[in-house]
Chain A
Amino acid sequence: KQEVTQIPAALSVPEGENLVLNCSFTDSAIYNLQWFRQDPGKGLTSLLLIQSSQREQTSGRLNASLDKSSGRSTLYIAASQPGDSATYLCAPSQGGSEKLVFGKGTKLTVNP
């Protein structure tokens, strides 16, 4: 059974910092991995999807990497802004299926 750990659980940084969010998972036989953000009282917004054959994906100031063999993914946020404040969730698939298994998230606060 896939288990997902996200470190740190919470992070507070000043505006403009570059930061890294970490995700580890126990079953490396994944179909894909997604990073989401969740704002309070809202649903999840997909940020990046990395297929199992890919090493990284980039979208604007976000870059996600995937190392399947070690069961790790990182989300890099460049030049953080207050609008980036949210909870970030990592979700690798379970085995070869599309079923996502979610970590508990990293709550990010970017201070002006």
Chain B
Amino acid sequence: DARVTQTPRHKVTEMGQEVTMRCQPILGHNTVFWYRQTMMQGLELLAYFRNRAPLDDSGMPKDRFSAEMPDATLATLKIQPSEPRDSAVYFCASGLTVQPQHFGDGTRLSIL
């Protein structure tokens, strides 16, 4: 059963440190999404890619967040420098145009 794989599952680090989250989308999916989930805001779209090209990153704080797809099997989301308000669960999802999005289990990030 094909799955979206996210690493690490949990990350605790201190304020100011760089954080890198990785996502392996389902093979053959051409669209990759990054979401953030918090109790207060719920689920928010940060950025998404089609065929590895960024289509929209308007939901992402540009000064500290960056998202890339070095190749079709890897998407990364980086935060530098990290801040306590970045603490959240970050989800990656992949899909095909007009098909349901498939989510990974998320990276639970805590910034102290």
Judged by a CB distance under 8 angstroms, whether A98 is at the interface is yes
**Closest chain A residue to B40, Cβ basis:** A104
**Set of chain A residues within 8 Å of B56, measured between Cβ atoms:** 97, 99
CA A81 to CA B2, docked complex, whole Å: 26
**Set of chain A residues within 8 Å of B42, measured between Cβ atoms:** 102-105
Judged by a CB distance under 8 angstroms, whether A74 is at the interface is no
What's the dominant secondary structure at chain B's contact region?
strand
Contacting pair A44 B91 (CB below 8 A): yes
CA A43 to CA B100, docked complex, whole Å: 14
Number of B residues near A (Cβ < 8 Å) is 21
Number of A residues near B (Cβ < 8 Å) is 22
Given contacts A32-B98, A98-B97, contact A43 B103 (CB under 8 A): yes
Residues of B in contact with A (beta carbons under 8 Å apart): 4, 31, 42-45, 48, 56, 91, 93, 95, 97-106
Residues of A in contact with B (beta carbons under 8 Å apart): 32, 34, 36, 41-46, 49, 51, 89, 91, 97-105
